[in-house]
Amino acid sequence: MNTRKILHADCDCFYAAVEMRDNPALREVPLAIGGSVERRGVVATCNYPARAYGVRSAMPTARALRLCPELVLLPGDFDRYRAVSRQIQAIFAELTPLVEPLSLDEAFLDVSNVDRFQGSATWMARWLKEETLRRTGITISVGAAPSKFLAKIASDWNKPDGLFVIAPDQVDDFVRRLPVKRLHGVGPSTAAKLDAMGITTCEDLRAWSLESLITRFGKFGQRLHELSHGIDDREVKVEHERKSVSVETTFERDLPDLEACKDALTPLVERLETRLQQHGHPSLDKLFVKVRFDDFSLTTLETSGHATSRESFVLLLAQAWQRARRPVRLLGVGVRLVSRDARRQLTLPLSSQ
């Protein structure tokens, strides 16, 4: 682990950044990219002036406009965003072939064996930031660390336009002091449960045995144990075939019943449709819902489907909720995609008899 050098590069408010680059008049005004109020849309991203009003991504547009009445709302131009993303990803590839894109605006890079810049991950990160800004006009934040989970935390540490490095000999001290709410997968409900156990930092978490964490959090307890000790051996995976697209939300307060879950479903479906636009409207094979109840039990239900609609997801949700009939802490919706092999078979010409 100590020999690995992982960078996590993340564009700052990417969609809004592209709009501000192309129209400088938008730079100083609160700006959000998202769906309209009439369509019960949600905010895909917003710039930092909008964030000063409390506007956040995944927030219903109606609420964003209540918080900031002067908010400038634009629909997304995903063809333009994808074009800029390709430029940025090409810069990443100049540094290392080991690039794992996570979305249009972020990626992991394994630079462990890169000789440029005397092998310094810090200098590589500075080069990425400078070249991306010079060539595309987009600002990125970069984190450098010996693991993916720490690199991702580092990229968010000094946003916007941040650069934060966690050297191998700093990992243990950094992780000990790290708030547990910064760990991947710890949403508001889990954070509240950890706080009730007297756990606010990873050092607090280390005092609990693996067995006791698994008892309280199920399989996620093992992940909490590993992350609190700085353990994350996941490799950077070069882009592979995407098998699914999904979105999910962990709620600050558990949803008490099925009707509350149905109300929460609409913005999730809107976000899913936005994600599918980002990926170029891929061919769909199945629809699915994911429900985690307040006792941390998890259920997933899917059905065949070639188009997303709220009605289809409502039917799935109703069936999934019946499996436990408990308050819900996490809700997700997604689609399975038709594989490349299947698409290829569908387009093969029929052989003549």
Q: What is the pLDDT averaged over residues 107-133?
A: 96
Same domain, 277 and 221: no
- pLDDT at position 353 is 36
Q: Are residues 254 and 338 in the same domain?
A: yes
Residue 352: inside a domain, yes or no?
no
Express each pLDDT in 317-347 by its tens digit: 999 999 999 999 899 999 998 876 555 544 4
Q: How many CA atoms lie within 13 A of 131 on its CB side?
A: 17
Burial class of residue 226 in the structure, from the number of CB atoms within 10 Å of its CB (0-12 exposed, 13-18 middle, 19+ buried): middle
Q: Report how far Cα 182 is from the mean position of its chain's Cα atoms.
A: 14
Choose, from 106, 130, 241, 259, the residue flagged as catalytic: 106
pLDDT at 349 over 70: no
Examine the domain organization and report whether 248 and 224 are in the same domain: no
Residue 193, domain CATH: 1.10.150.20
Residue 118, in any domain of the structure: no
Point out the domain boundary residue: 228, 260, 293. Answer: 228
Interval 49-79: pLDDT, tens: 999 999 998 888 889 999 999 999 999 898 8
Tokens in use for 290?
A: 């994911």
pLDDT of residue 255: 92
pLDDT of residue 142: 98
My answer on whether 253 and 224 are in the same domain is no
In a domain, 163, yes or no: no
The partner residues of 141 in beta bridges, in order of sequence, read: 10
Lookup: tokens for 229: 């000790």
Beta bridge partner(s), residue 292: 298, 330
Summarize the annotated binding site as residue ranges. Answer: 10, 105
Looking at the fold, whether 177 and 205 belong to one and the same domain comes out as yes
Q: Is residue 192 part of a domain?
A: yes
User: Do 263 and 189 lie in a common domain?
Assistant: no
What CATH code is carried by the domain that includes residue 258? 3.30.1490.100
Annotated binding site for Mg(2+): 10, 105
Percent of the chain with pLDDT over 90: 70
Give phi and psi for 188, each to the nearest 5: -55, -40
Indicate if 189 and 274 belong to the same structural domain: no
215/279 same-domain check: no
Counted domains in the chain: 2
Domain check: are 300 and 217 in the same one?
A: no
Clarify whether 106 is annotated catalytic.
yes
Tell me if 320 is assigned to some domain: yes
Residue 211 lies in a domain: yes
**Tokens linked to 67:** 């918080």
Range of the domain at 255: 244-343
Confidence of residue 2 (pLDDT cuts 50, 70, 90): very low
CA angle 49, 51, 52 (to 5 degrees): 65
